[in-house]
């Protein structure tokens, strides 16, 4: 009976982590949708829903501590619980960064953007794919889709550098657009950080599945 309860509790833990990851991914995706569509209502919803993710993180952490204290798991189970405790922090930061982007949307939705939104949505698309692959790898214990994460992160970094250079040039040529350019630069920076968090999550999942510590960046 005790073993059955342990297995059920461990499965419930993984389900809750999966749910938190899906919510964080949706927040990050919706933040860029709100930016592109100038949707302040969606931006407000993202900010409000951050509270749900925060509560979920607290609940998952408690579940992890309870399993560690009462069941003394070994081998892959121990790595799984440790991974859960680590990656929920990254999911929380992703949702926080999405909330920061949503706050920017609320500030500049009524302004003309100083540059077309081309590279920023591309950065978002790549990071969304990375988070989705992390969630699939976590669920299926199949890390094959994580092999190219460093290369994908390099693409995000290159796009960020391109956005930064373009916005600097724009502010030199049009000083009145400096505030708007600054906001867009922060959006790009937040997306670059989301890519970094996805790499952190992938590294932890690789360790969970293989026992091998591999830094992705």
Structure tokens at 99: 């909330």
How confident is the model at residue 54, as a pLDDT?
94
Provide the CATH topology of domain 2-210. Methane Monooxygenase Hydroxylase; Chain G, domain 1 (1.20.58)
What b/e sequence results for 174-198 when a residue is b if at least 16 CB atoms lie within 10 Å of its CB, and e otherwise? eeebeebbebbbebbbbbbbbbbbb
**pTM to 2 decimal places:** 0.94
How confident is the model at residue 5, as a pLDDT?
81
C-alpha 112: how far from its chain's center? 28
What angle (nearest 5°) sits at the alpha carbon of residue 88, between those of residues 11 and 28? 115
CA distances for 216 relative to 45, 46, 191, angstroms: 32, 28, 17
Query: SS3 string of 104-156?
Result: HHHHHCCCCCCCCCCHHHHHHHHHHHHHHHHHHHHHHCCCHHHCCHHHHHHHH
What is the three-class DSSP state of 38? Answer: coil
Domain ranges of the chain: 2-210
Give the N- to C-terminal CA distance of the chain in Å, as an integer: 43
Specify whether the CB–CB gap between 183 and 114 falls below 8 A. no
Q: Which of 33, 157, 112 is nearest to 165 (CA)?
A: 157
Specify whether the CB–CB gap between 57 and 88 falls below 8 A. yes
Alpha-carbon distance of 107 to 101, in angstroms, equals 10
What is the three-class DSSP state of 42? Answer: helix
Q: What is the pLDDT along the chain (217 residues), one digit of tens a residue?
A: 457 788 888 999 999 999 999 999 999 999 999 999 999 999 999 999 999 999 999 999 999 998 888 777 778 889 999 999 999 999 999 999 999 999 999 999 999 999 999 999 999 999 999 999 999 999 999 999 999 999 999 999 999 999 999 999 999 999 888 999 999 999 999 999 999 999 999 999 999 999 988 777 6
């Amino acid at each position: 009976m005790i073993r059955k309860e342990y297995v059920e509790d461990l499965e419930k833990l993984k389900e809750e982590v999966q749910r938190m990851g899906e919510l964080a991914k949706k927040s990050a995706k919706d933040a860029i949708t709100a930016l592109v569509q100038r949707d302040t209502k969606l931006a407000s919803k993202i900010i409000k829903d951050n509270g749900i993710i925060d509560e979920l993180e607290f609940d998952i952490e408690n579940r992890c501590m309870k399993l560690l204290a009462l069941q003394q798991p070994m081998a892959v189970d121990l790595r799984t619980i440790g991974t859960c405790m680590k990656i929920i922090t990254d999911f929380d930061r992703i949702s926080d960064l999405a909330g920061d982007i949503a706050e920017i949307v609320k500030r500049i939705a009524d302004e003309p953007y100083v540059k077309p939104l081309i590279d920023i949505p591309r950065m978002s698309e790549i990071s969304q794919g990375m988070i989705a692959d992390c969630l699939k790898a976590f669920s299926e214990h199949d890390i094959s889709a994580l092999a190219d994460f460093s290369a994908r992160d390099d693409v995000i970094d290159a796009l960020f550098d391109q956005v930064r250079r373009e916005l600097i040039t724009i502010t030199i040529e049009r000083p009145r657009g400096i505030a708007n350019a600054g906001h867009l630069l922060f959006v790009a920076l937040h997306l670059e950080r989301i890519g970094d968090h996805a790499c952190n999550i992938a590294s932890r999942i690789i360790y969970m599945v293989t026992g091998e510590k591999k830094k992705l960046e």
